[in-house]
Amino acid sequence: PVYSPVFRQQVERGVMVGMALQGIWALWQLYQHVDIFRASFRPFVRVLSQGIDAVTWRFSKRLNSLTQILTRQYMHWLK
C-alpha cells in the first residue's frame, strides 16, 4: 500500500473537518447576506450567543477568583 491506514485516517479526518468548516462558513454567509435566512436563523443565533455569554461569564468568574487566591498567596509569600 502507498499510504498507511493511520495516514489515510488522518487525511480523511482533515477532509471532514474542512468540509464541516466550509458548511459553517456557507451558513454564516447566508445568514449575513440573505434576509430570509437571517430571519429564520436569528433565534438559533440568539440562543447560541446567550449560551456562549453564560459560559464566558462563568469562566471569567472562576478565573477571577483563582487569580485573587494566587495574588493573596503571592503577597503572603512576599511578606
The string of DSSP letters for 7-57 reads: HHHHHHHHHHHHHHHHHHHHHHHHHHH-HHHHHHHHHHHHHHHHHHHHHHH
Residue 9 pLDDT level (bands cut at 50, 70, 90) = very high
- Tens digit of pLDDT for each residue in 43-54? 988 998 999 998
- The mean predicted confidence, pLDDT, of the chain is 90
- Tens digit of pLDDT for each residue in 25-41? 998 899 889 999 889 88
